[in-house]
């Protein structure tokens, strides 16, 4: 058995800080192996007590401690591996701590580290303690003054939070810069950057007339890839003023892109630090998806300035307070500047594929978790994406105007404070004209509710009954219902909307509160078929169970006036077809090779037909995208038929392509974009639709379709079309595919972000038990196990997007991934823990696979040096 005893932090144990730190003065003398930090803290006792001062500290080399200028002898304080305790301190004093850190050996990318030779920091959630001793908790808010001293040649650029107040040469080959941030902030928002960087600049004038200097800093060779990020930033600043009345509050706003970063980006006050993947773009190297990602992550981090920085979290159990709200804000921004229906489809896809799965497995936790071992493990789809859905429900329950009033009140009331989810709920509840107490459950309960919907028709009336099924989750006793908005409509057999009351309303938002709720509407006697459109726009983050037959789904796919539900109906139709086929094959023991269902084929055809009209090409492309194998796998509670899912999906795509190849070809030709690359809604839509058509055609084993892809690669000026064509070739094995992959690797060998795309394509198509190819990819110069983006592209994609190889019956996939996780755990536990979540759902697989998966998890755990991050994830999975 392993040594890892659990020692959780509990929300119920929260106590306010013993000491406040009003002011922080930091001096950094930067050097790669030995950076010196001098910290002067203005400390004040909080309340009436005699408890020692506690300062968190992690892997720091302490040089000295002084109180009010007097150095403390070593017996006056205690240091252990978690921090420093100083008893008998005065009620108010100045504490000076000097310590040293080693940025080069900081491979966890947490605290002060180097990326491409430049210094940068990451502090959220608990990285500041890896820089200096400090009460490293978000409810300690301080004003910071930061002095950076470094070699002038090595580090011409010196940045920190707030406004620049001084920069000077020190005469000895070094120079220094001083930054002051007037806004009190928690330590997790601290940042510094120093190195050889170049910047593009722009300006923004806020609604009340503040002139803000904007800068995006990158390594010199990337300077021609910053324009899209800058445009996105300016759009975000304008949008937050227009939509939420929120203005920026410093004279400068800087963004720095770094290649080595554990997450997407970080909202440090006035100095956002980004994974370069979410900044760098130009047409030749970035795809439309990259452009989308940049726009939304730049917006997300910018929006944190209010939802996160000005109003922050009291403790890390409140993480969703800033993340759920900010994700909701960035989603609405993207929806406003792009295609709203497509955006909603993408959001729901992510929620269903990632969050629903998390919520149904051993890592399930509420939006407000109640305990954790490693807070780093709680930057999850539940906290972020379900959190955003919960905020969205507030918006839908209150209506925009009241929601906005609540948001104004929230920012006003709590500006400059560290607050809780309760504070947010109370402020929103004040705007409601109904009892909101029950809504709290969304924050406290894990698990995805299921709403069973049934319908009867009699005596000129349709009665719709909603029954909530609250899933059983370990440690959650009650199964009480949730309060949720449920938007509905109904259609007759010809797809005409039916009025839901005498006034003729065709859509209603019901508020469900009970375990069982009924709703009736009148219907003319001669209408014999009524098809319900449920949870339109996905107003509630639940699973809907309703007895739709294939005809109902085909009708909704064609006629529903809610675009999201039209897409959803089509997806359900595809999944129903696949699942029926797989189940049948299981029962009869043979792979059923039946006819293409007529309803599905017709729906597919009418989508292609719609693409010829004025329908949004991007929306059509979303509809044509087959549900992913992992999502299909979610439909099976036990003994997930990994291989049958893969085969059924391949087969269905082939059948559709075969039936509709002429139309696909027409769509492909018609959607060609004239002129050079531009990132705009129409062109993005055309390219997306062309990509689907080409991929679909390449499901067929025919050289003509491969030639089309090869020609597209050769003739295009942009990465989107190049990569789409390469992906289309990867739909099946061929000579052309292999050549194109090789050529691509030669052409882009020097561009790591482009090579990530190549790594992930390769990872997707590795055949089961092809360990030679895995070894080859691992040894490829484009791969580096130290870089999180490379690891996600190869190991992450292999384990999540190539189920047949990851779940190979021999266990070779599990073993390879576990090997990588163990290796990575030795230097970056945040990344190893995240990768390991893919093993969590072992119970859903057949006994042999389940044994192989648990064996690998046991191997990860049974190491004396297993990180607490990894031990928490694996421990929970095995329990």
Contacts to ligand PHE by CB under 6 A? 122, 124, 262-263, 265-267, 300-301, 323, 379
Of the pair 323, 359, the CB lying nearest Zn ion is at 323
93-125 in b/e burial notation, b at 16+ Cβ within 10 A?
bebbbbbbbbbeebebbbbbbbbeebbbbbbbb
Contact 763, 798 (CB under 8 A): yes
Q: How far is the CB of 262 from ligand PHE (least distance, A)?
A: 6
| Closest of 131, 117, 312 to residue 220, by C-alpha | 117
Q: How far is the CB of 11 from ligand PHE (least distance, A)?
A: 19
> Please, where are the H alpha helices in 560-597?
563-588
Q: Which of residues 268-327 bind Zn ion (CB under 5 A)?
A: 323, 326
Torsion angles phi and psi, residue 354, rounded to 5: -105, -50
Of the pair 262, 355, the CB lying nearest ligand PHE is at 262
Which residue's Cβ has the minimum distance to ligand PHE?
263
Site string for Zn ion, 37-56 (x = CB under 5 A): --------------------
Largest separation between any pair of C-alpha atoms in the chain:
93
Q: How far is the CB of 266 from ligand PHE (least distance, A)?
A: 4
Q: How many Cα atoms are found within 13 Å in the side-chain-facing hemisphere of 242?
A: 10
> Quick one: DSSP state of residue 595?
P
Of the pair 260, 301, the CB lying nearest ligand PHE is at 301
Q: How far is the CB of 118 from Zn ion (least distance, A)?
A: 23
Query: What does the block give as tokens for 660?
Result: 């509709």
Query: What does the block give as tokens for 100?
Result: 């040293």
Site string for Zn ion, 578-607 (x = CB under 5 A): ------------------------------
Beta pairing partners, 811: none
Q: Give the 3-state secondary structure of residue 361.
A: coil
Of the pair 267, 568, the CB lying nearest ligand PHE is at 267
Of the pair 720, 832, the CB lying nearest ligand PHE is at 832
Residue 266 site contact among Zn ion, ligand PHE, none (CB < 5 to 8 Å, cut-off depends on kind) = ligand PHE
Contact 32, 44 (CB under 8 A): no
Of the pair 266, 836, the CB lying nearest Zn ion is at 266
- Cα–Cα dist 762/777, whole Å: 8
Of the pair 111, 338, the CB lying nearest ligand PHE is at 111
CB atoms within 10 A of CB 849: 19
Q: How far is the CB of 322 from Zn ion (least distance, A)?
A: 7
Q: Spot the catalytic one: 301, 346, 347, 629.
A: 301
- Cα–Cα dist 507/499, whole Å: 8
What does the DSSP assignment read for 102-146? -STT-TT--EEEEETTEEEEE-TTTTGGGTS-B--STT--EEEEE
Of the pair 280, 684, the CB lying nearest ligand PHE is at 280
Task: Tell me whether residue 601 is exposed, middle or buried, using C-beta atoms within 10 angstroms of its C-beta: 0 to 12, 13 to 18, 19 or more.
Answer: middle
- Continuous segment of H or E residues that includes residue 427: helix 421-429
Torsion angles phi and psi, residue 185, rounded to 5: -145, 160
Query: What does the block give as tokens for 152?
Result: 């002038």
Q: How far is the CB of 327 from Zn ion (least distance, A)?
A: 7
Sign of CA dihedral 560, 564, 565, 569: positive
> Quick one: DSSP state of residue 665?
H
Of the pair 278, 403, the CB lying nearest ligand PHE is at 278
Query: What does the block give as tokens for 26?
Result: 């930091």
Q: Which of residues 318-337 bind Zn ion (CB under 5 A)?
A: 323, 326
Alpha-carbon distances, residue 3 vs 755, 819, 868, 876 (angstroms): 40, 20, 11, 14
Q: How far is the CB of 385 from ligand PHE (least distance, A)?
A: 11
Task: Tell me whether residue 270 is exposed, middle or buried, using C-beta atoms within 10 angstroms of its C-beta: 0 to 12, 13 to 18, 19 or more.
Answer: buried
Q: How far is the CB of 123 from ligand PHE (least distance, A)?
A: 8
β-strands 530-533, 484-492: how paired?
Answer: antiparallel
| Active-site residue, 595 included | no
Q: How far is the CB of 276 from Zn ion (least distance, A)?
A: 18
Report the alpha-carbon angle 119-122-123, nearest 5.
135
CB atoms within 10 A of CB 745: 17
> How far is C-alpha 457 from the chain's CA centre?
43
Report the alpha-carbon angle 791-793-799, nearest 5.
85
Contact 225, 281 (CB under 8 A): yes
Please give the torsion angle defined by the CA atoms of residues 178, 184, 185 and 190, in that order, rounded to the nearest 10 degrees.
0
Q: How far is the CB of 788 from ligand PHE (least distance, A)?
A: 11
Q: Give the 3-state secondary structure of residue 546.
A: strand
Q: How far is the CB of 188 from Zn ion (least distance, A)?
A: 12
Of the pair 763, 873, the CB lying nearest ligand PHE is at 873
Alpha-carbon distances, residue 639 vs 299, 561, 635, 803, 849 (angstroms): 41, 38, 11, 14, 9
Residue 359 site contact among Zn ion, ligand PHE, none (CB < 5 to 8 Å, cut-off depends on kind) = none
Q: How far is the CB of 210 from ligand PHE (least distance, A)?
A: 24
Beta pairing partners, 193: 120, 159
Of the pair 110, 288, the CB lying nearest Zn ion is at 110
β-strands 271-275, 252-258: how paired?
Answer: parallel
Contact 448, 471 (CB under 8 A): yes
Residue with tokens 């305990």: 371
Of the pair 188, 403, the CB lying nearest Zn ion is at 188
Of the pair 706, 834, the CB lying nearest ligand PHE is at 834
**Which spans of this chain sit near Zn ion (rule: CB under 5 A)?**
323, 326
Q: Which residues are catalytic?
A: 301
């Amino acid at each position: 058995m392993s040594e890892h005893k659990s020692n959780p932090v509990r929300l119920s144990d929260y106590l306010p800080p013993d000491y406040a730190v009003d002011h922080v003065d930091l001096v950094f003398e930067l050097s790669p192996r030995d950076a010196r930090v001098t910290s002067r803290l203005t400390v004040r006792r909080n309340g009436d007590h005699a408890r020692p001062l506690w300062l968190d500290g992690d892997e720091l080399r302490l040089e000295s401690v002084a109180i009010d200028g007097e150095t403390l002898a070593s017996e006056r304080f205690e240091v252990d591996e978690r921090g420093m305790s100083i008893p008998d301190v005065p009620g108010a004093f100045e504490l000076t701590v000097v310590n040293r850190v080693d940025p080069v050996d900081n491979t966890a990318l947490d605290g002060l580290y180097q990326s491409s030779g430049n210094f940068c920091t990451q502090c959220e959630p608990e990285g500041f303690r890896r820089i200096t001793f400090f009460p490293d908790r978000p409810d300690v808010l301080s004003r910071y003054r930061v002095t950076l001293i470094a070699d002038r040649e090595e580090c011409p650029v010196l940045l920190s939070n707030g406004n620049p107040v001084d920069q000077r040469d020190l005469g000895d080959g070094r120079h220094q810069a001083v930054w002051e941030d007037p806004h009190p902030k928690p330590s997790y928002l601290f940042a510094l950057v120093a190195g050889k960087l170049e910047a593009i600049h722009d300006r923004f004038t806020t609604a009340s007339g503040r002139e803000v200097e904007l800068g995006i800093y990158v390594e010199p060779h990337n300077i021609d890839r910053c324009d899209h990020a800058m445009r996105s930033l300016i759009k975000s600043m304008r949008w937050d003023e227009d939509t939420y009345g929120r203005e920026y509050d410093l004279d400068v706003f800087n963004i720095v892109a770094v290649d080595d970063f554990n997450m997407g980006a970080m909202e440090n006050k006035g100095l956002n630090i980004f994974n370069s993947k979410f900044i760098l773009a130009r047409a030749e190297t970035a795809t439309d998806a990259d452009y989308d990602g940049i726009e939304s992550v730049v917006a997300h981090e910018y929006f944190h300035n209010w939802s996160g920085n000005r109003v922050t979290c009291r403790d890390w159990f409140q993480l969703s307070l800033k993340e759920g709200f900010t994700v909701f804000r960035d989603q609405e921004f993207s929806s406003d500047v792009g295609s709203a229906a497509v955006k909603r489809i993408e959001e729901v896809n992510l929620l269903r594929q990632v969050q629903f799965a998390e919520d149904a497995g051993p890592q399930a936790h509420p939006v407000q978790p109640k305990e954790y071992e490693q807070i780093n493990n709680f930057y999850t789809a539940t906290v972020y994406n379900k959190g955003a859905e919960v905020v969205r429900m507030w918006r839908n329950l209150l209506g925009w105007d009241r929601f906005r009033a609540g948001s104004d009140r929230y920012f006003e009331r709590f500006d400059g404070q560290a607050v809780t989810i309760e504070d947010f709920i109370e402020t929103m509840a004040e705007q409601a004209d109904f009892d909101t107490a029950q809504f709290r459950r969304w924050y406290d309960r894990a698990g995805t509710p299921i709403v069973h919907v049934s319908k009867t028709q009699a005596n000129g009336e349709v009665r719709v009954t909603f029954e909530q099924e609250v899933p059983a989750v370990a440690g959650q006793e009650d199964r009480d219902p949730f309060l949720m908005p449920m938007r509905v409509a109904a259609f007759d057999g010809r797809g005409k909307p039916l009025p839901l009351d005498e006034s003729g309303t065709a859509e209603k938002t019901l508020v469900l509160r009970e375990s069982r709720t009924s709703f009736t509407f009148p219907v003319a006697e001669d209408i014999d078929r009524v098809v319900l459109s449920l949870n339109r726009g996905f107003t509630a983050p639940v699973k809907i169970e309703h007895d739709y037959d294939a005809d109902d789904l085909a009708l909704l796919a064609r006629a529903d006036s809610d675009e999201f539900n039209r897409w959803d109906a089509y997806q359900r139709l595809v999944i129903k077809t696949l699942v029926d086929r797989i189940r049948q094959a299981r029962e009869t023991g043979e792979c059923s090779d039946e006819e293409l269902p007529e309803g599905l084929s017709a729906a597919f055809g009418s989508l292609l037909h719609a693409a010829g009209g004025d329908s949004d090409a991007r929306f059509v492309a979303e509809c044509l995208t087959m549900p992913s194998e992992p999502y299909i796998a979610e439909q099976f509670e036990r003994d997930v038929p990994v291989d049958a899912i893969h085969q059924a999906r391949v087969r269905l795509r082939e059948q559709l392509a075969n039936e509709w190849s002429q139309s696909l070809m027409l769509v492909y030709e018609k959607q060609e974009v004239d002129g050079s690359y531009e990132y705009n809604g129409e062109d993005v839509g055309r390219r997306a639709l062309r990509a689907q058509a080409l991929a679909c055609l390449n499901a067929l084993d025919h050289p003509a379709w491969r030639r089309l892809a090869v020609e597209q690669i050769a003739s295009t000026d942009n990465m989107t079309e190049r990569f789409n064509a390469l992906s289309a070739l990867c739909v099946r094995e061929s000579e052309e595919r292999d050549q194109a992959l090789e050529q691509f690797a030669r052409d882009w060998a020097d561009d790591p972000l482009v090579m990530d795309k190549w790594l992930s394509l390769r990872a997707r198509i590795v055949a089961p038990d092809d360990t030679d190819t895995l070894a080859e990819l691992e040894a490829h110069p484009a791969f580096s196990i130290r870089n999180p983006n490379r690891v996600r592209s190869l190991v992450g994609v292999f384990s999540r997007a190539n189920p047949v190889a990851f779940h190979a019956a021999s266990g070779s996939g599990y073993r390879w991934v576990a090997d990588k996780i163990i290796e990575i755990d030795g230097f970056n536990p945040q990344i190893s823990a995240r990768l390991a979540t893919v093993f969590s759902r072992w119970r859903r697989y057949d006994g042999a696979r389940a044994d192989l998966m648990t064996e690998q998890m046991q191997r990860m755990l049974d190491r004396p040096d297993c990180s607490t991050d990894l031990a928490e994830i694996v421990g929970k999975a095995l329990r």
